[in-house]
Structure 1
Amino acid sequence: MGRILTEKDVEAAVRGGSVYAAGGGGWADHGRMLGLAAVRIGRPELVTLDELEKDDWVATAAAIGAPAGTTRWEMQGVDYVKAVRLLQEALGEPLAALMVGQNGRSSTLNGWLPSAILGTKVLDAVGDIRAHPTGDMGSIGLAASPEPTIQTAVGGNRADNRYIELAVRGATAKISPILRTASDMSGGFIASARNPVRASYVRKNAALGGISMALALGEAILAAEGKGPGKGGGSAVIDAICKVTGGAIAVSGRIARKDVVYTNAAFDIGTVVIGSGDKATTLHVMNEYMAIDDAAGTRIATFPDVITTLDKDGEPLSVGQLHVGMNVHVLHVPKTIIPLSAGVLDPSVYPPVEAAMGIEIARYVFEEETRKKRKGKK
């Protein structure tokens, strides 16, 4: 028997997911809307892979787009449900469970409403423990697969006649851009269900336990906040975040510069500099924080490490909330202590991100493996 998700789990999922959002946007209120709707009209159930048969179908529930607050996006809870229905119709078989591509302010809760209404289980597995800029990074190793798959998308601004429903088939690399285009045409944010695979494939390729990790972190944050004024406050929250994630504060200081621009490919790209002179630290951004360099250009942290900015109260801040003069703490959780999926260990997902950002990422991701191979050859 899985864990029935309740109202108290909603806030925990949003709060823990906000840390793993790694500076990505998303909307905490959208997450609360999805979660509260689910627990009020049904009994969404969180299950592990051990509770599924190896041939059960599992799909990824996702929200596509970069709603920077400047677009007239509209996504209703029912859109997530309709996307799953469309996928089941196209597949011709029922889905047993839904996973998500990444944790985040709302994405941790993407599978809850379909679970409450359709009975699909919320699978305790994610495509990436933290948020990332491209869908390929959360696609559990399917990014370069030539095998045809199915992806659906539903949503849009109804008042502007932008509501769209679509189901597409093909290799995921070829059809994922179609969904991003649909998201743009719908107003900037659209619900999707995609890439149905067998549970046995998920077991080998996903980051297992990702949802319960977000829930446990959120519970610890809420407990630390409950200590009240004068009993720890923000430092108690930050301590709790570090303890539960196994991470540490890599840098603290004042934001000296922020150079982040929104591109026509729907990405926020640029840098944020904390401190000055030989103490300056640079955060590299592509929607989320992807790397940290010190003043000498030495790499301190690289995706898929968890990198998150927190304010003095331990509240996670998205890139969009940062401004010059603000004091922040930067949480760093090394990739060596979190479950990693096949998506973030797939070399093919890095070249487009490196080209867009103008920095090296893959070399740092795979340096340990490269070192091991070199030792093996000696």
Structure 2
Amino acid sequence: MGRILTEKDVEAAVKGGSVYAAGGGGWADHGRMLGYAAVSIGRPELVSIEELGDDDWVATAAAIGAPASTTPWEMQGVDYVKAVQLLQEALGEQVSGLIVGQNGKSSTLNGWLPSAILGTKVVDAVGDIRAHPTGDMGAIGMAGSPEQMIQTAVGGNRSENRYIELVVRGATAKVSPILRTAADQSGGFIASCRNPLRASYVRRNAALGGISLALSLGEAIIAAEAKGASAVIDAIVKATSGAILKEGVVTRKSVVYTKEAFDVGTVTVGSDDTAMTLHIMNEYMAVDDAAGTRLATFPDVITTLSTEGEPLSVGQLREGMPIFILHVPKTVIPLSAGVKDPAVYPPVEKALGIRIADYALAD
């Protein structure tokens, strides 16, 4: 049976989603805004994919951009709802449920407001358990497909006349960059609804149970908070089946915002022969040791935590800051077709100048 999402679920979704945000994944306050708005005006419902009919339409509710930078972004809850409405108009049929492309500080809650207002179900499935830089990585295997898809984008900074509504049709890999450009033009962050697919396809290709994973992790974090920071970190490690890769100080941060609306660069933690380097494209994509040996690679979960156990985004990191690096290997999380799709890796490898596909696609 479905689960009605309530006020107590909002903080759990934000906190659990923030760990899976892997250094990216939006803004916690934006997630709270979406969640509290949804539970106060309606009854958003979380359902498993099994509760939908094979031919029901399921689309992805997403937010696109890299708003960790100093861009003038503005996104309102109504933008997520309008994006779904535009997609339904273009499709000519109702969308029964929404998945999200990834967990994150706000993205875990992307489907809640449309569920409260339009009645679309929040489907307990994600395009990727963790956050990732490109829409294609959360496209559950559609990135290399020639099939015509519908993608919509809504939002923007109203006072600067940057508000955009966009409906585009085409092969996923060709239209995804158009939405990223729209995000940049709108101020750096835009709401999207895209890739309506039959529930039977989603069942076979998404990472099932991804929203529940974030909620249960968040509940474990909240339960540990009264016991202090080390209890929170222990709870995160236990709930994710992960491990702390390193505890150290940020010694170097070199990250730039690109015209493609990505934050790209590296962060070094520790010094000399114990240093580790985090490779960043919006999120943490890989970790190398001082000798250049790879220790963790996407789609592993890689997250930085403060000494208080708070998940830190790339934008929050400062040189001199003590942090923990959490690593959850891909073997202990559900993996979607999107992260097993060879088509998604070349642009990321090119931006970072490192190899990712060898590891990501290996069994």
TM-score range, shorter chain: over 0.9
1:261 aligns with 2:246: no
Deviations 1:243-289 (CA, angstroms, capped at 9, x unpaired) = 11000101111111111111121111111111111111111111110
State whether residues 25 and 319 of structure 1, in contact with CA within 8 Å, keep that contact through their aligned partners in structure 2: no
Alpha-carbon distance in 1 for matches of 2:156, 2:315: 23
Q: Structure 1: where are the runs of 5+ without partners?
A: 228-232, 369-378
List structure 1 segments (4+ residues) > 4 angstroms apart after TM superposition. none
2:117 aligned with 1:122, yes or no? Answer: no
Question: CA shift at 1:35, angstroms?
Answer: 0.3
Equivalent position amino acid for 1:73 in 2? W
Give ranges in structure 2 of 5+ residues lacking alignment.
none
1:316 is aligned to 2:311? yes
- For the 8 Å contact 1:25–1:68, the answer to whether it is kept is no
Letter in structure 2 aligned against 1:302: T
User: For 1:300-321, what per-residue CA distance to the aligned partner results, in whole angstroms no more than 9, with x for missing partners?
Assistant: 1000000000011110011111
Q: Which position in structure 2 is the counterpart of 1:198?
A: 198
**Alignment length, in residue pairs?**
363
Are 2:237 and 1:242 aligned?
Answer: yes
Distance in structure 1 (CA, Å) of the matches to 2:122 and 2:183: 24
Contact 2:25/2:106 (8 A) holds in 1? no
Counting only pairs closer than 5 Å after superposition, residues 341-352 of structure 1 correspond to structure 2 as 341-352=336-347
Matches of 1:112 and 1:255, distance apart in 2: 36
The 3-state SS of whatever aligns with 1:183 is: helix
For residues 172-187 of structure 1, what are the structure 2 equivalents within 5 Å?
172-187=172-187
Deviation, 1:25, is: 5.1
The 5 Å alignment of 1:317-332 reads 317-332=312-327
Secondary structure in structure 1 of the residue aligned to 2:181: helix
Q: CA deviation at 1:69?
A: 4.3
For residue 153 of structure 2, give the secondary structure of its aligned residue in structure 1: strand
Written as runs of structure 1 = structure 2, the 5 A alignment for 1:209-358 is 209-227=209-227, 233-358=228-353
Query: Higher Cα Rg: structure 1 or 2?
Result: 1
Inter-partner Cα distance in structure 2 for 1:318 and 1:193: 24
Q: Which secondary structure state, in structure 2, belongs to the residue aligned with residue 226 of structure 1?
A: helix
Aligned-residue sequence identity (percent) comes to: 79
2:362 and 2:174 map into 1 onto residues whose CA distance is: 30
- 1: CA distance, partners of 2:135 / 2:7: 29
1:30 corresponds to 2:44: no
TM-score between the two structures when normalised by the length of structure 2? 0.98
Q: TM-score, normalised by structure 1?
A: 0.95
Displacement after TM superposition at 1:74 (Å) = 1.2
Structure 1 residue 366: Cα displacement: 2.6
**Counterpart for residue 168 of structure 2:** 168
Contact preservation (8 Å) 2:25, 2:107: no
SS for the counterpart of 1:215 is helix
Separation in structure 2 between the aligned mates of residue 25 and residue 191 of structure 1, nearest angstrom: 13
Q: CA RMSD in A?
A: 0.9
Correspondence for 1:78: 78
What is the CA-CA distance between 1:186 and the residue it aligns to?
1.4
Shift of 1:59: 0.1
Verify the 8 A CA contact 1:301 1:334 in the aligned structure 2: yes
